[in-house]
Amino acid sequence: MRLYYHPFSSNSRRVLLTAHHLRLNLELVAVDLLGGEHKTPEYLRLNPNGKVPVLVDGEFPLWESHAIMQYLAEKSGEQDIYPQELSARADVNRWLFWSAYHFAPAAGLIIRERVSKRLVAGLGAPDPAEIARGEALFPQVAIVLDRHLAGKHWIAQDRLTLADFALAAPLMHTLAAQLPIREFENLQAWFARVQSLDAWAQSSD
């Protein structure tokens, strides 16, 4: 399997975290975002959205990072991060959807302005109004996660799951993007646990 990715993409990072945890040997192909490689006709045939990551398994290209995570877990056979039991899997899926629709977009507003615009061609200069919008929105979603994590080590099912990898990925940019997480102690403690995992260290290479 081949993964088209970028090392500074948090969407790529959640897929890499999953692959490393599952000990899957992916062929990694770095996409030159600054050079506009993601907008070439060849790349758009893989992902018409012109974004990373894309997983290619044989003749099957798959985009959307959360879908790729699920695919890798299913394909790996024996795995411990995506439960089979219906309600347990629904619990993990709940947080994957929340990641995609709430947490990642809120963090992404800030990350785009302070990080992505330095790395991706054609995005323009940082917009202070968008940064302010992100800094107002992010705490509203972060507090949901922080309260949920009170008394818990992991997000779903009292164990490490895809939900933890999905939600931790954008926080790789905490320092560079100046994400406002200081007031959320439960979130910070959980993120430190994720950062202590071998998969986190391996996906940082």
- The domain defined by 86-197 folds into Glutathione S-transferase Yfyf (Class Pi); Chain A, domain 2 (1.20.1050)
Specify whether the CB–CB gap between 99 and 167 falls below 8 A. yes
Q: Encode pLDDT of 135-175 as tens digits.
A: 999 999 999 999 999 999 999 999 999 999 999 999 999 99
**Confidence band (pLDDT; 50, 70, 90) for 121?**
low
User: Looking at the predicted structure, is the pLDDT value of residue 196 above 70?
Assistant: yes
Q: Residue ranges of the domains in the chain?
A: 2-75, 86-197
* CA distances from residue 193 to 35, 62, 132, 159 in whole angstroms, order as listed: 35, 29, 29, 12
Average pLDDT over residues 2-26: 97
Task: State CA 93 to chain mean position distance.
Answer: 14
Q: Does domain 2-75 have CATH number 3.60.110.10?
A: no
Q: Output the pLDDT for position 120.
A: 76
